[in-house]
Structure 1
Amino acid sequence: MRAALAGDEAAYGRLLRELTPFLRTIARSGLARAGRGTAEAEDIVQEVLIAVHTKRTSWIPTEPLVPWLRAITRHKLIDHLRRRGGTGHVDIDDLSEVIAAPTDEPGIATRDVVKLAEGLPAGQKAVIHAMFVDGKDTKDTASALSMSEGAVRVALHRGLAGLAKMLRGTV
């Protein structure tokens, strides 16, 4: 994470790939404690990875990384459980041979975000692109788009909410 914060993109990619199984384990454990199936774990992992990306500069490099990650995962798990309420789930473990395995092809998630962001207002789309595609932090995005940092955070929040609605099909 320290190398990633210093601008090492390869280290950042490795970090996210290596964190994913760890985050998946925490999410599955939390879902099991809540009496839920583990099929929802991937949704939580994706939300955590987005939060890690957007909040990575809030991690204090002199502090341990794991407690910071566990806190984010805990909050995303709680948010997920609140949103889902008492709805049932479909256990897809029996379909694992039918469902295609994830690939390591780089850029798919970025292309998906860019494609989905086309449906957002221009300001939100620009902020999403700057932060998720170009990898800029809030300060650099604000400077590049001639916005205040607060306006960038609001546009990011609204843009992510819009993307979530699109993914849920509620737009």
Structure 2
Amino acid sequence: MRGRDDEWTDLMRSANAGDSIAYRRLLESVTPVLRAGARRGLARAGQPVDQAEDIVQDILLAVHLKRQTWDPGAPFAPWLFAIARNKLIDTLRRRGRRVFVDIDDFADTLASEPAPETLPASEVTRHLEGLPPRQRDVLQSIAVDSASIKDTAAKLSMSEGAVRVALHRGLSALAAKLRTV
């Protein structure tokens, strides 16, 4: 029987080769695992677990923006879980807490070093400027300014659901633009 990491690795390879169905399947498969890990990490840090969904969205956004940096010769899960752990730590730090995050919240193994960025910030900014204003504002707030979905909704006078929709649409549009780069 194939392991979860083997399946995720194959799906990520296909996704990075342009298979949007494989990418959707990958995201659908990893999201419940990320959600559970975020909840465990928040609970262990003595924090309410209601922010787990924001952490999951931050992780998925980072995966999306950095997916071309993943080494297709390496397993996918350690790369994913390193991002997840870092996003959880970032969230807890923003709350003013000094925390220890148990690595087992996400997985047994992690990538040894972070992957390098593929696009300079100026390129990302240029692509963001090409998005519709609402999508651009949401992506700027969440991905660049590290605001939560809840804070973004309040700042932009939107519901959290509308923020999630704009985030998803903005990411899809940005991915389409970046595939042509």
The alpha-carbon deviation at position 6 of structure 1 amounts to 0.6
1:167 equivalent in structure 2: 152
Q: Which has the larger radius of gyration?
A: 1
List runs of 5+ in structure 2 lacking aligned partners: 1-11, 98-117, 130-135, 157-181
The change in CA–CA distance for 1:72 and 1:26 in structure 2 (over 3 A counts) is same
The alpha-carbon deviation at position 169 of structure 1 amounts to 2.8
2:123 equivalent in structure 1: 152
Distance, in Å, in 2 between the alignment partners of 1:77 and 1:84 is 11
2:77 equivalent in structure 1: 66
- Aligned amino acid, residue 162 of structure 1: S
List runs of 5+ in structure 1 lacking aligned partners: 87-137, 140-148
Q: Quick check: 1:18 aligned with 2:29?
A: yes
Distance, in Å, in 1 between the alignment partners of 2:85 and 2:66 is 15
- TM-score, scaled to structure 2: 0.53
Larger RCO (alpha carbons 8 Å, 6+ apart): 2
RMSD: 2.6
The change in CA–CA distance for 1:58 and 1:82 in structure 2 (over 3 A counts) is same
Distance, in Å, in 1 between the alignment partners of 2:67 and 2:155 is 29
Q: Quick check: 1:44 aligned with 2:55?
A: yes
The alpha-carbon deviation at position 38 of structure 1 amounts to 1.6
The alpha-carbon deviation at position 170 of structure 1 amounts to 3.6
1:169 is paired with a residue whose SS is helix
2:171 equivalent in structure 1: none
The change in CA–CA distance for 1:33 and 1:46 in structure 2 (over 3 A counts) is same
1:167 is paired with a residue whose SS is helix
What is the number of equivalent residue pairs in this alignment?
111
Aligned-pair identity in percent equals 50
1:134 equivalent in structure 2: none
The alpha-carbon deviation at position 42 of structure 1 amounts to 0.6
Q: Which 4+ residue blocks in structure 1 deviate beyond 6 angstroms? A: none
Distance, in Å, in 1 between the alignment partners of 2:90 and 2:123 is 23
- Aligned amino acid, residue 141 of structure 2: G
The alpha-carbon deviation at position 168 of structure 1 amounts to 4.8
The alpha-carbon deviation at position 37 of structure 1 amounts to 2.0
- The 5 Å alignment of 1:114-129 reads none
What does the per-residue CA deviation read over 1:27-79, in whole Å, with 9 as the maximum and x for residues that have no partner?
Answer: 11111221112211111001000011000011101111111111101111111
